[in-house]
Amino acid sequence: MTLPAKPVQKPAKLALTVSDALGADAAATRIGEIQKRTLALSNFTYLCIRDDLRSPDSFADICGVAAVLWEGPLVIESDEPEAIAKGCLHLVGRKPLVHCREAHAEASAIAASLGCRVLSLPGDDGDAVDTGTQDLSEIPDAIHLLKGYDPSRPVTVHVPAGEYGVSTAAAAMMLGADLIIADDLDAASCALLDRIATYRTVRRWDP
Amino acid sequence: MSWQQQDEVWLGLGDYVAGGSCAPPFLKSEGALARRPIVMGSMDLSDGRDAYDSAMMWADAGADGMMIRVSSEEELPTVAMIAQVTGLPIALSGDPAVVSAMASAIEGTVMILMGADAEGHLSAGQNGRIAVFDGLDADAMHAFRLAGLKGDESCKRPILADLSMFPGEPMEEAMVGLEAMLCGADILVMNNPVAADMCRFQGEELAGL
C-alpha cells in the first residue's frame, strides 16, 4: 500500500464473524479469540453474528453470548425475521446493525421497529448497501455507482475467509467501502487490513 | 462527458494486448473492457540462478511474461532461449545500450524495452510508448490514467507498474499490485510469484473474466 503521511479521517471499519453453528460455549471461545486477535487493531471494532443454522433460538442464544462478551458494536446477519426478532431481544440497548443477505421486507421491518439500523440490498432505501459476498467483479461497479451518486452513503461488503478474502476486502476498502465483514482472517491478515483501513486512499474517477 | 479510449499495444507473439481501456478500471457500467492487466514476473540474469528454471517457474506460476534484468550482451542467447521456450512476452531492463543491442538481435517477438529503443519493439519510460511508474506511486498512476481518460493525448499510453524491487512480504506486494490495478495500471511487474498469482486472480475477478 502507498500509505499517506497520516491516518485518514474516516477509516473503514472491520468485523470478524461468529457462527451460531458453534453453540454457546464454542462461540464464547471464538469471541475470546477474536478479541485477542484484534485487541491492538483500532478498526476491528465490530463483531458479526452469523445465522448459519437458520434456527431462531440458536441464533438468539449466540446473540446473548455476544451481548455479554463483546463491548463494541454488533452486526447480526440473518434473513429470518424470527431470528432477527429474537436476536434483537438479546441486544436491547446495543442497536446492532442488521445485515440481510437477501432483501427481506419483513426482517427489515422487525429490525427497524426494534431500533436497529438495517443494511439492505442495492435498490432499497436502507442505511447501507451490501454489494454481495461472492462475486468480486460486482464490487467496483456497485461501490463506484453508490459512492458516485452519494459519497456519504455507507457501503458494507462481506468477504470470505482466507487470502482471497483479504484482497477482496482490500479492494473494497480502496474503492470506498465503509464496513467490511470477513468470515475469518488470521492475525497477520487482520493487521494488514487494519493498516489499509487506517491509511487507505479512496481515489475517485470523476469525469 | 464520455471517457476517451487509451492506447493499446500488442506484445510477445501478438497474442497479448495491454492498455486500450475506455473507462476507469473494472467499471463495466461505464464501458470498461473485460480485460485484466498483464502480470509479469521479474528475473535477474546475474543473480546466479538458473535462467531456464526461473523462467519456467514464472510460466508455471501463471505469469503472462517476464521482465528480465540484463547486464551484458553476452546474455543474448539466454534471453532468446527464454523467449523461444516460454513464448511469453518479455520486457528487458538494464543498461540502455545493452538492452537496445539485445533487442535488435531478437526477432519474432515484440518486447518491452525499459528506457531503451529498438525497431520492432516497444520503448518504455518517460517518453516511451509505455509509461512506467514505480508501483508505490499510486497517486501518479491514477492522475495519469484519469487525464488520459479525459482526453490528454500524452497520458493515453499503457501504464507499467514496476514492483520488481518490492521489498515486502508477498501479501503486502499483492496489495500494492491491487492498488496499482485499481489506479489504472495495465502491466504489473511483480517480485514474488505468490503475489503475482494473487494479482492475476484479482485482475480476472475484477474484470469479470
Nearest Cα residue to A89 out of A118, A61, A53:
A61
Q: Measured between CB atoms, which of A171, A188, A205 is closest to B206?
A: A171
- Evaluated on CA atoms B78, B164, B11, B124, the torsion sign reads negative
Domain boundaries, chain A: 13-199
**Residue holding cell 506486494?**
B173
Cα(A77)–Cα(A104) distance, integer angstroms: 12
C-alpha distances in angstroms, A36 versus A23, A48, A49, A124, B100? 20, 16, 17, 36, 56
What element of type H or E holds B199?
Answer: helix B193-207
Q: Measured between CB atoms, which of B137, B182, B198 is closest to A163?
A: B198
> How many Å separate Cα A6 from the centre of its chain?
25
Q: Measured between CB atoms, which of A2, A141, A144 is closest to B136?
A: A2
The CA-based dihedral angle spanning residues B109, B61, B158, B169, taken in that order and rounded to the nearest 10 degrees: -140
Cα(B167)–Cα(B189) distance, integer angstroms: 13
Please report the domains of chain B, with CATH numbers, ordered by start residue.
8-207 (3.20.20.20)
Cα(B185)–Cα(B179) distance, integer angstroms: 9
Residue type, A11: P
**Between chains, do B183 and A203 touch, taking CB under 8 Å as contact?**
yes
Nearest Cα residue to B186 out of B8, B2, B5, B3:
B8
Cα(B146)–Cα(B149) distance, integer angstroms: 5
On whether the A13-199 domain is CATH 3.40.190.10, my answer is: no
Report the predicted TM-score, pTM, of the whole model to 2 decimal places.
0.88
Decide: helix, strand or coil at residue A41: coil
Task: Say yes or no: A97 contacts chain B, CB-CB below 8 A.
Answer: no
pLDDT by 10s per residue, chain B, length 209: 689 999 999 999 999 999 999 999 999 888 898 899 999 999 999 999 999 999 999 999 999 999 999 999 999 999 999 999 999 999 999 999 999 999 999 999 999 999 999 999 999 998 899 999 998 899 999 999 999 999 999 999 999 999 999 988 998 899 999 999 999 999 999 999 999 999 999 999 888 88
Q: How far is A206 from chain B (nearest CA, A)?
A: 8
Cα(A148)–Cα(A162) distance, integer angstroms: 30
